[in-house]
């Protein structure tokens, strides 16, 4: 279902195709999760999810209409700060940056690489999203730190809370934790394969 839903969403998306791809991956992945309703999985109030669908996936408005759940209710103490960090560094102050800020903050609470928990096909999707929609923040990640580590370091620096073990990354024993490769399999692919080994072809965003 996630792959078929992805294709249907992406094919009908409006605006920048790169945005259509990432929003379709995120929404299809959220739809496939059993733990939370999609609005909760994305950190969006149902009205915001409906507004996102109306702008990016006008053919899917009825799909998200009336979904339950107060997705904006914080699920962790740092979530509002993560959200605010993104919104403050939006490239244009556009509505889709606000939606992405909510989604990134919610999915940053996951246990995997952020690009995986977003349901994206690879880390480059996330890096591209950051450069397009949060350029002032992306430019500060000039050494290509792991994105989630980078967000949390930004928050800690703001609060004056020292988290770094060394004055310089080059001599820090945590270097590999902060800058190591964010490799791995897309979670959408893994969950789909677990669910239906014969239907790998339903994952067009991952092929």
User: Where does this chain bind ligand SF4 (CB under 6 A)?
Assistant: 153, 164-166, 169, 172, 174-175, 178
Please classify residue 143 by burial: count the beta carbons closer than 10 Å to its beta carbon, then call 0-12 exposed, 13-18 middle and 19+ buried: exposed
Nearest to 129 by CA among 95, 165, 96: 96
- Residue 178 Cβ, how far from ligand SF4 at the closest point, in Å? 3
Phi, psi of 83 (to 5 degrees): -60, -45
C-alpha–C-alpha distance, residues 110 and 186, integer Å? 14
- Residue 151 Cβ, how far from ligand SF4 at the closest point, in Å? 12
C-alpha–C-alpha distance, residues 188 and 206, integer Å? 8
Q: Which is nearer to ligand SF4, 7 or 153 (CB)?
A: 153
> Which residues lie below 8 Å from residue 81, measured CB to CB, with a gap of 6+?
155
Q: Which is nearer to ligand SF4, 143 or 195 (CB)?
A: 143
Q: Which is nearer to ligand SF4, 62 or 176 (CB)?
A: 176
**How far is CA 121 from each of CA 38, 68, 118, 124, rounded to the nearest angstrom?**
19, 27, 9, 8
Q: Which is nearer to ligand SF4, 93 or 167 (CB)?
A: 167
Tokens of 121: 């096909």
Q: Which is nearer to ligand SF4, 84 or 178 (CB)?
A: 178
- Residue 158 Cβ, how far from ligand SF4 at the closest point, in Å? 15
C-alpha–C-alpha distance, residues 120 and 101, integer Å? 16
């Amino acid at each position: 279902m996630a792959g078929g839903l992805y294709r249907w969403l992406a094919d009908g998306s409006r605006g920048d195709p790169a945005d259509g791809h990432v929003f379709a991956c995120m929404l299809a992945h959220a739809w496939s999760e059993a733990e939370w309703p999609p609005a909760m999985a994305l950190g969006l109030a149902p009205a915001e999810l409906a507004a996102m669908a109306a702008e990016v996936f006008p053919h899917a408005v009825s799909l998200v209409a009336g979904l339950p759940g107060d997705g904006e209710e914080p699920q962790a103490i740092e979530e509002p700060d993560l959200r605010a960090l993104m919104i403050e560094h939006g490239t244009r102050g556009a509505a889709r940056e606000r939606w992405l800020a909510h989604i990134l903050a919610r999915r940053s609470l996951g246990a995997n690489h952020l690009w995986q928990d977003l349901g994206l096909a690879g880390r480059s999707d996330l890096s591209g999203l950051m450069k397009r929609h949060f350029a002032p923040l992306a430019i500060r990640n000039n050494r290509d730190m792991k994105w989630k580590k980078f967000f949390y370091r930004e928050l800690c620096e703001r609060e004056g809370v020292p988290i770094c073990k060394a004055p310089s990354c080059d001599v820090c024993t945590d270097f590999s934790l902060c800058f190591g490769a964010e490799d791995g399999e897309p979670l959408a692919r893994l969950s789909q394969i677990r669910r239906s080994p014969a239907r790998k072809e339903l994952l067009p965003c991952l092929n």
